[in-house]
Amino acid sequence: MGKTITIRPLCCGYMRVSESVPFGNDVSLKNSAHQILARDANRVVLPVYAFLIEHPQGRFLIDAGFPREMSPKGEYDSKAVSALLPKHLAQLYRPWVPRGMAVIEQLEALGLKPSDLDCVILTHFDPDHIGGLKSLKGAKRIIVAEDEYFWTCRTVYRARQPKHFYDGVPMEHYWFKGSDVGPNRWAYDVLGDGTIVLVNVPGHTDGMVSVLVTNGELLEHKHRFALLTSDAAFTPRNWREKITPGLGFDPKLQRRGLDWIAEQEKRQGCIAVLTSHDPDMKSEVITIDLA
């Protein structure tokens, strides 16, 4: 590995969700009901991305997508989905994972085993982000924010985040520290050099992070970075048109998150802002030269 960082988007399947999941513009009972009951005509197909970051200091995987078990033949399989998700989530997501697209299969295609991953970073505990976690057994580290883990005790998350996807998986919890970045200025610098910074962007969940990947340069005119928003935004439309996703717990915080993302996109040195569910995203590898 040279003195560059690469970010490889990995499309790990799809979900057919109510339009109000990405563009509900409020978190309400009406939206929640629509998300579960919507007919196909009122649903949109969204991709589910994980990201592989190759860094001179190691390989980092951001999120794990849905697992193969949810879609044994590579198609939507309501029985297989219902075996892994409670009824309301099975209806909310209607997910499938085409053959070869589960995260572990994509790593294998790149010649990688879980033990080649230095760190798996979980942005939050929703099933479309951690469903494939158990297939990554053998990764050197798996990390999640203490705030994300702690707040799984809230009723809303118990309904959203089935425990069996992470139960029994050894995981390190980290604490956010005061930071110059992020809507509430809390972040965790994974390597201590500013090149991979997990920025707390609450609103979708309490402890969710967006991932800032930078060249580590502090001088503004030399600073280069890419931002992986996770579900602070589902697509660029969220921050460009100021529409909050309808899946979350606090629309005010979601709005602050979108404002922060919009600011980042305008900053000098911004190479890309990538979400986890953008149907128009090109799966191109992004390269950042280190300072």
Q: How far apart are CA 120 and CA 173, in angstroms?
A: 12
Shorter beta-carbon distance to Zn ion: residue 12 or 107: 12
Q: Site map for Zn ion, 45-74, x if CB under 5 A?
A: ------------------------------
Closest approach, Cβ 66 to Zn ion, in A, equals 10
Residue 206 as a binder of Zn ion (CB under 5 A): the answer is no
Shorter beta-carbon distance to Zn ion: residue 49 or 176: 49
Q: How far apart are CA 2 and CA 5, in angstroms?
A: 8
Closest approach, Cβ 213 to Zn ion, in A, equals 19
Select from 101, 118, 119 the least CA-distant residue to 110: 101
Q: How far apart are CA 200 and CA 195, in angstroms?
A: 16
Q: How far apart are CA 213 and CA 225, in angstroms?
A: 5
Select from 270, 211, 248 the least CA-distant residue to 62: 211
Which one of residues 54, 128, 147, 148 is an interface residue with Zn ion (CB under 5 A)?
A: 128
Closest approach, Cβ 192 to Zn ion, in A, equals 28
Shorter beta-carbon distance to Zn ion: residue 92 or 139: 92
Shorter beta-carbon distance to Zn ion: residue 53 or 122: 122
Instruction: Give residues 229-258 in contact with Zn ion (rule: CB under 5 A).
Output: 231
Residues 6+ apart with CB under 8 A from 23: 234, 237, 238, 243, 245, 246
Binding residues for Zn ion, rule: CB under 5 A, are 128, 231
